[in-house]
Copies of this chain bind each other. A is one copy, B any other.
């Protein structure tokens, strides 16, 4: 897990800003390389720099953005809605109210999901107790 073990320097320090290969970015973000490429293709990640030979170089800004995407994805937001959010994020500060609205609506959905899970977890516990009582 030590990045110095990589034959190819995964973390590349140029003049001012650290950049990461797609492999390192995958490791740090929790997405696979394929998913990162896929997200770039469909417009969820933008402005990924390339080396003269075409390799991607991700930045800390990308990692931060990816942590947002990961949160949204893992809480069940559809890609299409993430895309809407990404578009707004690219369009500047005047879209902040709409971004807030999206996040709040999504938070409500997450709350509902958690409530549903909690209820079903209880049902599960009841089943387990029942089985134990007849075992």
Contact = CB atoms under 8 A, between A and B. Distances in A.
A68 interface: yes
Interface in A101-120: 103-104, 106-107, 110-111, 113-114, 116-118, 120
Nearest to A73: B120
A114 B120 contact: no
B106 A114 contact: no
A121 B110 contact: yes
A75 interface: yes
Nearest to A121: B110
Contacts of A100: 128, 131-132, 135
Contacts of A118: 114
A104 B97 CA distance: 43
A123 interface: yes
A96 B131 contact: yes
A43 B104 CA distance: 41
B124 A117 contact: no
A74 interface: yes
A99 interface: yes
B96 A135 contact: yes
A87 to B, nearest CB: 16
6 contacts: A68-B127, A71-B120, A75-B117, A100-B128, A103-B124, A107-B128
